[in-house]
């Protein structure tokens, strides 16, 4: 991933140096386990644990000759270990190291991501409680519908992000598996006890069965969980982008001192971070699709998945980590324009209260259809600029035959749209 979207901690996790360091971690644990079960001498395991190291430049030099990164890595390590290196990687195949170390890196990357999901969840909870009963207009089809509250918007985000976090944690659990079962997964040259011991020491679970590789449905589930997280972030970001539109003006990203919105138009304040999050979500969905293509491999393994994973797994975790960081920043600096929200609710003389009026009329006039026509003709008149809805209703002789002015005014009271918010909050937040 390009540096622009790479934060230091996640970037360091996927750096080449750390990749080889993780491979070495697996090799050392494998040697220790084999010595424990008397497959290799204890002396060899101690020498490997003490002396094993590598040189990245040397590995790259050797790979140019061997065209095999694991062999190049093992040769570099062997140069540090000396004679006992003959017991390094004993009975193992490359994927025993690659897949087990990849699981470690993905699990560690997931821990970094989960911390940022928690930050986002906490910030959304703060906003939901702060704006719990602050009224705003609800929209369906992009058109004014009925009043709701800002807090309920955030409650929806909170609930969705918690679902995505739960699915992400389940996917992380399913990727936290290692294997050390040899070239076709049948333990021809190793005892399953070695695999179990290595995985336990590394904080992984031994796969119940594998071929030369761990099965790639695990990786696809993980990448898909990242794509779903990104898509939810995009959904939240798109709401902010829409509400920042000049003609709406209800929410906006913060705008820092010295920030500039446009090279040409000094008045501009654009939702650039929310837009960036939307772009990142597109990347994540692409990575998820590529991960699904990787599930199908020939027989016990081919390497069609390898080149794909070298790109999509580091990149997906890096850009989601970045998107979460930016999203939390947007939440912390979010501007809520309560005055504009009220203006929009009462646009056209309170058109959005039409259902309350419909319900009030249906009983007295004896027909919901008749009541609907009575309300609609006034709403359409107000919508076409022939007056304010509330005033038109009060002047409607047919309506005034069954409703008093005070009864009409009651239909335009926001209390009906906030009265059950507390009950919803108890379901979502537990308090």
Predicted confidence (pLDDT) per residue in 395-428, tens digit? 999 999 999 999 999 999 999 999 999 999 999 9
CA atoms of 249 and 254, how far apart (whole Å): 13
CA atoms of 328 and 116, how far apart (whole Å): 8
219 is catalytic: no
Return the CATH number of 1-90, one of 2.160.10.10, 3.40.50.720, 3.40.50.2300, 1.10.275.10. 1.10.275.10
For the residues of 219-269, what is the DSSP string, one character each? HHHHHHHHHHHHHHHHHHHHHHHHHTSTTT-SEE----TT--S-SS-TT--
**pLDDT band for position 6 (cuts 50, 70, 90):** very high
Q: How many CB atoms lie within 10 A of CB 173?
A: 15
Position 259 scores a pLDDT of 73
Predicted confidence (pLDDT) per residue in 158-180, tens digit? 999 999 999 999 999 999 999 99
Position 326 scores a pLDDT of 97
Position 310 scores a pLDDT of 96
Q: Which two tokens stand for residue 313?
A: 């797994």
**In the chain, % of residues over pLDDT 70:** 99
**Residue 263 clears pLDDT 80, i.e. is over it:** no
Delimit the CATH 1.20.200.10 region(s) of the chain: 92-257+266-337
141 is catalytic: yes
Q: Which value, to the nearest 10 degrees, does the dihedral of the CA atoms of residues 43, 46, 51, 55 take?
A: 110
In the set 95, 176, 219, 262, the catalytic residue is 262
Mean of all residue pLDDT scores within the chain:
95
Predicted confidence (pLDDT) per residue in 316-328, tens digit? 999 999 999 999 9
**Residue 255 clears pLDDT 80, i.e. is over it:** no
Average pLDDT of the residues in 213-241: 98
**Residue 58 clears pLDDT 80, i.e. is over it:** yes
**342-429 in CATH: which number?**
1.10.40.30
Position 132 scores a pLDDT of 96
In the set 76, 89, 94, 141, the catalytic residue is 141
CA atoms of 146 and 168, how far apart (whole Å): 34
Delimit the CATH 1.10.275.10 region(s) of the chain: 1-90
| Stated pTM of the model | 0.94
Position 260 scores a pLDDT of 74
**Residue 291 clears pLDDT 90, i.e. is over it:** yes
- Cβ pair 341, 250 in contact under 8 A: yes
**Residue 77 clears pLDDT 80, i.e. is over it:** yes
**Residue 262 clears pLDDT 70, i.e. is over it:** no
Position 1 scores a pLDDT of 76
**Residue 257 clears pLDDT 80, i.e. is over it:** no
Tell me the CATH architecture of domain 92-257+266-337: Up-down Bundle (1.20)
């Amino acid at each position: 991933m390009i540096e622009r979207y790479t934060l230091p901690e996640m970037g360091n996790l996927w750096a080449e140096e750390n990749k080889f360091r993780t491979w070495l971690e697996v090799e050392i644990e494998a040697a220790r386990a084999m010595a424990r079960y008397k497959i290799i001498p204890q002396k060899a395991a101690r020498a490997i644990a003490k002396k094993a190291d590598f040189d990245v430049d040397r590995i790259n030099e050797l790979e140019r000759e061997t065209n095999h990164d694991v062999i190049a890595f093992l040769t570099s390590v062997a140069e540090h270990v000396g004679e006992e290196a003959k017991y390094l990687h004993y009975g193992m195949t490359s994927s025993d190291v690659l897949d087990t170390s990849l699981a470690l890196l993905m699990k560690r990357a997931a821990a970094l991501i989960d911390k940022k999901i928690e930050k986002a969840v906490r910030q959304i909870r703060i906003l939901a409680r702060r704006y719990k009963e602050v009224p705003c207009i609800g929209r369906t089809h992009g058109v004014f519908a009925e009043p709701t509250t800002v807090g309920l918007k955030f409650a929806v985000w909170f609930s969705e992000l918690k679902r995505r976090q739960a699915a992400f944690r389940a996917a992380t659990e399913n990727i936290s598996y290692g294997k050390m079962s040899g070239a076709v997964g049948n333990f021809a040259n190793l005892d399953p006890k070695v695999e179990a011991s290595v995985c336990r020491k590394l904080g992984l679970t031994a796969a119940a069965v594998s071929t030369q590789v761990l099965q790639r449905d695990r990786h696809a589930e993980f990448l898909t969980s990242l794509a779903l997280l990104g898509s939810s972030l995009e959904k939240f970001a798109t709401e902010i982008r829409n509400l920042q539109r000049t003609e709406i003006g209800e929410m906006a990203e913060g705008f820092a001192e010295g920030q500039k919105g446009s090279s040409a138009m000094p008045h501009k304040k654009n939702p650039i971070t929310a837009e960036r999050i939307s772009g990142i979500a597109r990347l994540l969905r692409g990575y998820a699709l590529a991960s699904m293509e990787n599930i199908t491999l020939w027989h016990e393994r081919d390497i069609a998945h390898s080149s794909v994973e070298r790109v999509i797994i580091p990149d997906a975790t890096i850009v989601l980590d970045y998107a979460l960081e930016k999203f939390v920043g947007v939440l912390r600096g979010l501007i809520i324009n309560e005055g504009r929200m009220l203006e929009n609710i009462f646009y056209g003389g309170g058109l959005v209260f039409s259902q309350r009026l419909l319900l009030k009329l249906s009983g007295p006039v004896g027909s919901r259809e008749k009541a609907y026509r009575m309300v609609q003709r006034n709403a359409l008149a107000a919508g076409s600029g022939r007056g304010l809805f509330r005033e038109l209703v009060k002047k409607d002789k047919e309506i005034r035959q069954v409703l008093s002015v005070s009864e009409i005014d009651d239909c335009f009271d926001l209390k009906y749209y906030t009265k059950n918010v507390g009950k919803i909050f108890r379901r979502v937040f537990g308090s």
